[in-house]
Structure 1
Amino acid sequence: MITLALGPLRRRPASFVGLAVALFLAITTVTMFGLLFAADLTAGDAVQKADVGPGLMVIAGAFGEIAVLVAFFVVVNALGFALRQQHRELALLRTIAATPRQTRRLVRVQVVATTLVVAAPAWAVGTAAAGRFLAELQRRGMAAPGLRVPETFLPLLVALAAALAAALAVGLAASAVAARRISLIAPAAALTASATEHGRTGAPRLLAGVAALAGGAVLLRLAATRPVEQADKAGQAALLGSLVLLVAVALLGPLAARLLAAVSGAPVRLLAPRTGWLADANLRGYARRLSSAVVPVALLVGLSGTMSIMTSTAGNAPGTTATSVTSATDVWLRQSELALLVSFAAVSTVNTLVAVTAGRRREFAMLRLVGATSSQLLRMLTVEAVLTTVVGVLLGATVAGAASAAFSTAVTGSAAPTVPMAACGWIVAGAAALTVPVILVTGMRAVRGPAAERVGGGGG
């Protein structure tokens, strides 16, 4: 079973590199903030009584809450995609009478192996990041000079356990769904079904998506009703609400992506009748694959847009809000948090797009066998990349707009926030700069090689 489980990691490393990086980020983040909590807990009485602002634990909690949730969101998205890439292997196991229990064991081995590989470097980076962040807080007078990062393994072990628990829970649930789907049809038909997509989204996923939408709406309502003197709490509730709405986007992604692709693809079909039609058909026909590609883009745009608009809105708010929210230290904290969140989202975007595009080698080979040239395929990929960017930006902008409107209601009394057009323009440009080149570069590599060999090898 161990050999069988590790086989896909060797054959399709691109599908698991994203998961490895996501787990690395999650363990690093939990290690970093866990060590900061430990530093505050183990500090002496004289250090704890020092008057240096809200305290290290409060700062680490407010800063780390969203960062840890985003890190695990990236893990869930990466793991879900890695498992979807194994539907063909699950179908093959079905043909040799593998049981659902054996399938779950296979996924457990893969998750544990990937997590253990990245644990040691993640611990090292998380420990170094905790020391650097504490030093920056002390330099700005936000942490007592006597605080030190303790030499304890407990936060490191907690980070490993949390990453394993989250990844195993998601992995086992996803593998159970996949195994059930494949087991409902004849073994001979399972191989064909593994290469296609269902046209409908399952009821459990729809219900979970609706529940996430409702939860996000409740959080945004909570943010909007905060009094003006609690602007920081309103900001945290709005940012958390945006993350929950992005979870809803991930769950309902196939439906939303198919609808937005149809709307945005119409002018493309008119401007480029051949490649535009093929690109639009690919995106709408493979809505789950499109959803996997646009969710990280939406995460990048949604979180960075929310943070930028909230900071701009707070800066233009009158009275005590402006002084409490936009002091030099608060601005630095917000910029640091934004940089961390953008880094997570950017890594997730690159990893997912590389894996999605690289996994289409067999599809590209079949197109070449029916007469498509490499230049035609690259033009098709260019159109797909642009449409993927548009759909991701629209979804992310919708989330950012809702979250920032709730925050603006709390601090200004108006649902119309102050939108920094230049910053938002850079966010959109950054999303495009990540999405389009990554898809094209990976696509150029994927279309190389003998087409007949690619088709026979199943996409390698």
Structure 2
Amino acid sequence: MMSLALRSLRHRPGGFVASFLVMFLGATMLMSFASMLDTAQHDAVDAGSEETLTTLASVIGGWGLLLVVFAVTSTLTLSVQQRGSDMALLRSVGATPAQVGRMIVGEAVVLSVLASLLAVPGAMFAGRALLDVLIDTDQVLPAVSYRFGPVGLSMGVGITLVAAVLAAWLAARRTARARVAEAVAAAATGKRRLGKIRVVAAVLFMAGGINLGVLTMVLEHGKTAEIMQTAGSASILVAIGLALLAPLLIRGVTGLLGGPLQRFTGVSGYLTVQNVRRRADRLGTVLMPIILFVGIGTGTFYMQAIENAATTAEGITKTNEQRNIETLNFVVIGTVVLFACIMLVNVLIAATTHRGREFGQQRLIGATPRQVLRMVGAEGVLLAVTGVLFGTIASLATVVPFTVARTEDVVPDTSLTIYLTIVAIAAVVTMLASTATARRRLRTPAVEAVAA
């Protein structure tokens, strides 16, 4: 099955681009932060700089690990879903569930090792830039020199490999264990039930986030660092929990908005509703990064904005240390949010590119290219609305508890500019990535698209 995995990668490289890109970017982020541990281990580094470097690498590396695992799982799951007919064919000609699973895991292993090794130069550049920020903000002494060594390399390659194998196992588990008839039906209709393990994991993540939100409100008022740590983590956990339930969420929103959408957009609206209902599982994979982007971005950026407003209201003049920490927070937060945004674009393009045959079939039965494009646009609207709605709910796990802890109010006295900017980015990226890719796919004649 490993030889089959290698042949699959060689003959269908386009089907693995999304997974490779996520692994590459994830390994770059992990190694750049992990290299701070290499830098901290040098004998010439003072105790204060060593503590800063170690703490940064540990905290951000931990959250980076979680996000990379989630991102790789999403893209690999989408890849396996898109190749459902191939998996069903393998099962029908006698391949056992274990053999199919080994093939999928083998593909992931090759991709992860290649992606992480190619990410080394970029990680070294990013790590050096991160150290420069730490020095410029007086978190680390200027005498500290950057080092990229075995810790950064092993963590980048090792974590990416483990994440890929785990994600591949989870993605393959359901496909491989399904009966042949069920696998063929699932490949043809795209309909799958949400697994129990996934639902339980979603509940646990959301419960953990809510627990951190409650903890934020009961912590001692003066412990700002501890409050920010628990509050910031809350929205991340809740966002991941909601993202795991994405297929159910998109079905629910479609049930509410499907009627008005069909009345206002006619044939395109009808096609949209039918496609979303039939492909909720695959569209749920696209919805995941929207929820993460909006939830994490809104929650963490507003947390710093609330802290700034509270400090000003208390009449406290910010020290250089406080301003430097704020700058560093924005750098770290920006890195995580940027990764979520790239993940969103990556998954959208991968999901839409694969639909060339579907678009061709719709055109052959009478739909015009304009109607198909409007259908994709309407799907984008549904995805954006759903992602913004539940991403906003996830962000409240950080915003409300942190506001209560710092100001004893429930609603923060801050501008809506941050929220509107994040929502606008999510909506624009969703619409542009999906419609631009669909427009490019529609340039292929319908007969050729169906035959491909």
Q: The TM-score by the shorter chain falls in which range?
A: over 0.9
1:90 corresponding residue in structure 2: 87
Q: Does 1:48 align with 2:43?
A: no
Q: Does 1:347 align with 2:342?
A: yes
Aligned residues of 2:49 and 2:140 also touching (Cα < 8 A): yes
Aligned residues of 2:112 and 2:160 also touching (Cα < 8 A): yes
Q: Does 1:278 align with 2:275?
A: no
Residues 47-446 of structure 1: matches in 2 within 5 Å? 47-49=45-47, 55-181=52-178, 183=179, 185-186=180-181, 190-198=183-191, 200-317=193-310, 318-319=313-314, 323=318, 327-446=322-441
Aligned residues of 2:243 and 2:292 also touching (Cα < 8 A): no
What is the CA–CA distance in structure 2 between the aligned matches of 1:203 and 1:34, rounded to whole Å? Answer: 34
What is the CA–CA distance in structure 2 between the aligned matches of 1:14 and 1:417, rounded to whole Å? Answer: 46
Measure how far apart 1:284 and its partner are: 2.6
The amino acid that maps onto 1:328 is R
Residue 7 to residue 437, structure 1, CA distance change in 2 (3 Å):
farther
Corresponding residue SS for 1:327:
helix
Corresponding residue SS for 1:217:
helix
Aligned residues of 2:353 and 2:441 also touching (Cα < 8 A): yes
CA offsets 1:419-460 (integer angstroms, 9 cap, x no match): 431121111111122111111111112223232343344xxx
Measure how far apart 1:129 and its partner are: 1.4
CA offsets 1:365-405 (integer angstroms, 9 cap, x no match): 11111111111111111111122111111111111122211
What is the CA–CA distance in structure 2 between the aligned matches of 1:19 and 1:297, rounded to whole Å? Answer: 17
Corresponding residue SS for 2:95:
coil
Residue 324 to residue 254, structure 1, CA distance change in 2 (3 Å):
farther
Residues 14-53 of structure 1: matches in 2 within 5 Å? 14-44=14-44, 47-49=45-47
Measure how far apart 1:10 and its partner are: 4.6
The amino acid that maps onto 1:6 is L
The amino acid that maps onto 2:341 is A
Residue 366 to residue 405, structure 1, CA distance change in 2 (3 Å):
same
Aligned residues of 1:140 and 1:329 also touching (Cα < 8 A): yes
Measure how far apart 1:326 and its partner are: 9.1
What is the CA–CA distance in structure 2 between the aligned matches of 1:151 and 1:303, rounded to whole Å? Answer: 29
CA offsets 1:337-386 (integer angstroms, 9 cap, x no match): 22212210111011100111111122111111111111111111111112
Corresponding residue SS for 1:234:
helix
Residue 385 to residue 325, structure 1, CA distance change in 2 (3 Å):
farther
**Percent identity of the aligned residues?**
29
The amino acid that maps onto 1:244 is L
Corresponding residue SS for 1:449:
coil
What is the CA–CA distance in structure 2 between the aligned matches of 1:373 and 1:191, rounded to whole Å? Answer: 29
**Structure 2 gap ranges (5+):** none
Deviates more, 1:63-72 or 1:263-272: 63-72
What is the CA–CA distance in structure 2 between the aligned matches of 1:272 and 1:330, rounded to whole Å? Answer: 50
What is the CA–CA distance in structure 2 between the aligned matches of 1:199 and 1:102, rounded to whole Å? Answer: 22
Corresponding residue SS for 2:379:
helix
The amino acid that maps onto 2:346 is N
What is the CA–CA distance in structure 2 between the aligned matches of 1:275 and 1:82, rounded to whole Å? Answer: 27
Measure how far apart 1:147 and its partner are: 1.5
Corresponding residue SS for 2:412:
coil
Corresponding residue SS for 1:200:
coil
Deviates more, 1:221-230 or 1:389-398: 221-230
What is the CA–CA distance in structure 1 between the aligned matches of 2:109 and 2:250, rounded to whole Å? Answer: 32
Residue 342 to residue 172, structure 1, CA distance change in 2 (3 Å):
same
What is the CA–CA distance in structure 2 between the aligned matches of 1:366 and 1:72, rounded to whole Å? Answer: 35
Residue 171 to residue 320, structure 1, CA distance change in 2 (3 Å):
farther
Aligned residues of 1:310 and 1:417 also touching (Cα < 8 A): no
Measure how far apart 1:301 and its partner are: 0.9
Measure how far apart 1:210 and its partner are: 1.8
Residue 193 to residue 152, structure 1, CA distance change in 2 (3 Å):
closer
Residue 322 to residue 385, structure 1, CA distance change in 2 (3 Å):
farther
The amino acid that maps onto 1:417 is P
What is the CA–CA distance in structure 1 between the aligned matches of 2:116 and 2:192, rounded to whole Å? Answer: 38
Residue 325 to residue 209, structure 1, CA distance change in 2 (3 Å):
farther
Measure how far apart 1:156 and its partner are: 0.1
Aligned residues of 2:40 and 2:50 also touching (Cα < 8 A): no
**Structure 1 gap ranges (5+):** none
Corresponding residue SS for 2:223:
helix
Residue 256 to residue 441, structure 1, CA distance change in 2 (3 Å):
same
Residue 53 to residue 328, structure 1, CA distance change in 2 (3 Å):
farther
CA offsets 1:282-317 (integer angstroms, 9 cap, x no match): 123321122111111111111111122111211121
Aligned residues of 1:14 and 1:354 also touching (Cα < 8 A): no
Measure how far apart 1:3 and its partner are: 4.2
CA offsets 1:257-279 (integer angstroms, 9 cap, x no match): 11022223333222212212221
Measure how far apart 1:117 and its partner are: 1.9
TM-score in terms of structure 1 length: 0.91
How many aligned residue pairs are there? 450
The amino acid that maps onto 1:27 is A
